[in-house]
Amino acid sequence: MKRGRVLFVDDEAQLRDSACEWLTVVGFDVTPAASAAAALRLYAADNFDALVTDVRMPGIDGLALLDRLLADDPHLPVVLLTGHGDVSLAVDAMRRGAHDFLEKPYDADHLVAVLDRAVRERRLGRELQRLREGGEANDALEARLVGNAPAVVDLRNRILQIADINIDILIEGETGTGKEVVARALHDFGRRRQRPFVALNCAAIPESVFESELFGHERGAFTGAVQKRVGRIEHAEGGTIFLDEIESMPPALQAKLLRVIQERVIEPIGSNREVPLDIRFIAATKTDLKVESEQGRFRPDLYFRLATVTLPIPPLNERGDDIALLFHHFVTAAARRHGVADIPLPPSLLRRLGAAKWQGNVRELKSAAERHVLGLPTFRQETRAEDVEEKAESLPERLAAYEARLIRDALDAHDGNLQAASEALGVPRRTLAEKAARLGVRRTS
């Protein structure tokens, strides 16, 4: 590694050339500039570790250059070269943010030592900033992909690792596991975040309009094409196109998509022009595309093109304690959205959540949290058929079952204290005791 990238500014050609030659010999990567104006142009176009500048120069002097550069980059180390009568100016410049100053004629080894220190501090500052931003990014991603299961932690780490890499990705996961959440995270935490994120569900588009939807068409390209239409892929220019349920894409379209991904050009229907693309493709599937390709239901070449990097998402039933954590997260968000006060989560409810079979994964759990906040039965009949309250069929039976659940949850939330539970429910203690006895409610925790 070079000792550092230095921009050296001096209007005296002989001094500038000899200094740049010496600094290059000892291992610095040096860019010379004959004026402050030239230095500003060079600085805007490149990335330097330090700047060395003479104070007395025609036009923009060294102090003005210092002010302008530090206004843009307060942490840039600026070393001033001063004449004998300029020491007071240099001291003032130190107060304004200069890193150091050397009085001419300066010792070449002293300049090297000053620059070594400046570059070291510059690189340390950059590393601290990178770590700080990485920590902030991880915190922000953790708020989106909630969970402590090892597979989820690994998924977050991989997203941060590859979000900024310009490579296409295949996301694998069951329905409801959060494939679009992962795709959006890859977009939002990468360099394309300021450009469009365009999501397309391949299973939701009729085959007759699929090609036009994806690639666009020119006016008059077919019956009904009364005006030009930009396709979803072209609309995502500079950003990300997310193709969900890619396994549902018609075979004829798979071949055309493969060409687009390989060539990074698109040809709208009815047009002979090729539109170049700067775009990232993220696809998602709920099936095993490798098996699908081996059995002839998906193009193998498209599968291998998409599967350069794969991100598997674990089903909810394999995430252990994450179920309760996610439920609490969704309940908090739903309560805030609906303006509802604190929602109790008794231990009995959390146990039932952990025992349930979440075939709809995180999406189903989120719906259960929404129902819980709204005071509706948390579990649907098909999810927990063994629950007594879900088996009730008549209206009186359903009301009794719902009342029993509220009483049981209140007792669990207050460790079986009947008085505290009655106060929470807003009914007299004796009335609550009678209802609990009549409905056969006992504390379950």
SS3 sequence, the chain? CCCEEEEEECCCHHHHHHHHHHHHHCCEEEEEECCHHHHHHHHHHCCCCEEEEECCCCCCCHHHHHHHHHHHCCCCCEEEEECHHHHHHHHHHHHCCCCEEEECCCCHHHHHHHHHHHHHHHHHHHHHHHHHHHHHHHHHHHHHCCCCCHHHHHHHHHHHHHCCCCCCEEEECCCCCCHHHHHHHHHHCCCCCCCCEEEEEHHHCCHHHHHHHHHEECCCCCCCCCCCEECHHHHCCCCEEEEECHHHCCHHHHHHHHHHHHHCEECCECCCCCEECCCEEEEEECCCHHHHHHCCCCCHHHHHHHCCCEEECCCHHHCCCHHHHHHHHHHHHHHHHHCCCCCCCCHHHHHHHHHCCCCCHHHHHHHHHHHHHCCCCCCCCCCCCCCHHHHCCCHHHHHHHHHHHHHHHHHHHCCCCHHHHHHHHCCCHHHHHHHHHHHCCCCCC
User: What is the pLDDT, as a whole number, of residue 443?
Assistant: 53
Is pTM beyond 0.75 here? Answer: no
User: Which tens digits make up the pLDDT trace of 49-66?
Assistant: 999 999 888 889 888 999
User: What is the pLDDT, as a whole number, of residue 226?
Assistant: 67
Taking 70 as the pLDDT cut, the residues of the chain under it are 1-2, 84-87, 90, 124, 126-139, 223, 226, 342, 380-398, 440, 442-445
User: What is the pLDDT, as a whole number, of residue 134?
Assistant: 55
Task: Please give the domain boundaries of the chain with CATH numbers for all domains.
Answer: 4-127 (3.40.50.2300), 146-314 (3.40.50.300), 317-439 (no CATH)
User: What is the pLDDT, as a whole number, of residue 175?
Assistant: 95
User: Which tens digits make up the pLDDT trace of 382-431?
Assistant: 444 344 344 444 666 667 777 887 888 888 777 778 888 888 888 888 88
